[in-house]
Amino acid sequence: MVMESAINAIIQVILFSLIPFIWWFFTAKKELSFLRWLGIKKPVIENKVNYFAWCLVIIVLMIVPINTIIFFYIDSSLLASNRFTGLGFSALVPALFYAIVQTGLSEELFFRGFLMKRFMHKFGFQIGNIMQSLLFGTIHGWMLFSFIPFEGVVLVVMATALAGYLMGWINEQKSNGSILTSWGIHGITNLIASFVAMFNVL
């Protein structure tokens, strides 16, 4: 399970980086390194108390609505974290690969690193952030479209779009454009979901 999780995580990161890499290669190769172009750099934090308070607020605002929607609309067997159900600490390493690398890193590279920064460059911060967050939410809703009622899909889109917007906001407004912040937040929320499955909390 550990090897499979590691391989899946690496493959997903490569796939989610492919389009950004091609775009960078033909448009920005001479200006910035690929990682810096995506926002993989040390966050510049002016007020650490304020920064960590916002991180905590965003984690709560991501966990509560999404888990409420899951409770009322989504069969837990449809969730990616379902593979860890009841496995306890034996699933810890695979859960770390899943939460931090496979979903957290790959999605942040593509949505907040690639799409948001390209949209921001074209339309400005506010419009760019709204655009990437709506795409983020829509894709998550689309993946569940055939399995849950339409109102559940709408709620999934809204909740995940809000999560995407908040992660984009904290990157650009509190972290000097570094996606390491949203990667950390995303990884933590996915890890919490994995722990819920691992220990049958709900």
Distance, CA of 59 to CA of 183 (rounded, Å): 12
Distance, CA of 62 to CA of 11 (rounded, Å): 26
**Which domain range does residue 164 map to?**
2-198
Q: What average pLDDT does this structure show over 196-202?
A: 87
Distance, CA of 170 to CA of 190 (rounded, Å): 18
Under 8 Å between Cβ of 113 and 179: yes
Under 8 Å between Cβ of 5 and 103: no
How many domains does one find in the chain?
1
Give buried/exposed letters for 94-113 (b at 16+ CB in 10 A, else e). Answer: bbbbbbbbbbbbbbbbbbbb
Output the pLDDT for position 91: 95
pTM of the model: 0.95
DSSP sequence for 126-187: HHHHHHHHHHHHHHHHHHHTTTS-HHHHHHHHHHHHHHHHHHHHHHHHHSTT-THHHHHHHH
Please, what is the average pLDDT of the chain?
96
38-96: per-residue pLDDT in tens? 999 999 999 999 999 999 999 999 999 999 999 999 988 888 889 999 999 999 999 99
How far, CA to CA in Å, does 24 sit from each of 3, 32, 37, 180?
31, 9, 8, 19
